[in-house]
Amino acid sequence: MKAIAAIDLREGACVQLVGGSYDAERVRVNDPLAALQQWRDVGFRHFHVVDLDAALGRGSNADVVARLTSQAPGLAFTVGGGVREAARVASLLEGGASGVVVGTRAIEDPVWLADVASRHPGRVVVAADVRGREVVTRGWTLGSGRALDEVLAALEPLPLGGLLVTAVHKEGQLEGVDLLLMRDVVSRTRHRLYASGGVTTLEDLRGLSSVGAYGAVIGMALYTGRLDAREVAREFSE
């Protein structure tokens, strides 16, 4: 399993939020490139970049995203946050992203998703952000009215690069992962699972690996020092 360092962007800075709440910011690194370099220096090679402002319609960090994904070869970036146009997907891939994460429009507009996935097979990752077992959209602010099982079944035929499943109820809490949720997802899909939300210990990561997750996104535990980044990179960065 791959350990993936989160780089969440807000107002040009790298931040960490508690529970996905825009008003509950706990960590801020003013230079996102410095955050990237910090995790790169200890051995991370995989990064998940999210434009929080774009996701919530509060602005854009497109210039910062471009600077991050143009870094040296050998690094892999998945990029998401407010990606709702096919042209933006193409632009991010051309700019160095290895995969593009689409969430709200992917859930709300299956015809659009099928078209984008067919244009870029294996490089579009669908974000299924889950609170309880309901998929939420619009930067985690709205319930979709769709159960996770229903969404997974609809995504199964598409040529996706994977599914990013975030346990919103665990995000930023430093209270562990929803292992039952992730095990259930793996059992219901052929797509790669990128698990996110609540990673706090090495045992959390080992648990996700044991249930078959392809990758795990780690944010708050890295930025607060709850996890030893070098140990994580040594065991899980491929």
- Listed residue (26, 33, 27) closest to 12, CA to CA: 33
From the candidates 23, 41, 53, 129, give the one annotated as an active-site residue.
129
- The three-class DSSP label of residue 150 is helix
Q: Say if CB 42 and CB 233 are below 8 A apart.
A: yes
Q: Say if CB 150 and CB 137 are below 8 A apart.
A: no
Q: Say if CB 104 and CB 84 are below 8 A apart.
A: yes
d(CA 2, CA 170): 20
From the candidates 8, 51, 53, 178, give the one annotated as an active-site residue.
8
Please say if 8 is a catalytic residue: yes
Q: Say if CB 98 and CB 76 are below 8 A apart.
A: yes
- The three-class DSSP label of residue 5 is strand
The residues facing 49 across adjacent strands are: 7, 79
d(CA 150, CA 56): 25
The residues facing 15 across adjacent strands are: 8, 28
Q: Say if CB 176 and CB 169 are below 8 A apart.
A: no
Please say if 115 is a catalytic residue: no
Hey, which residues are catalytic here? Answer: 8, 129
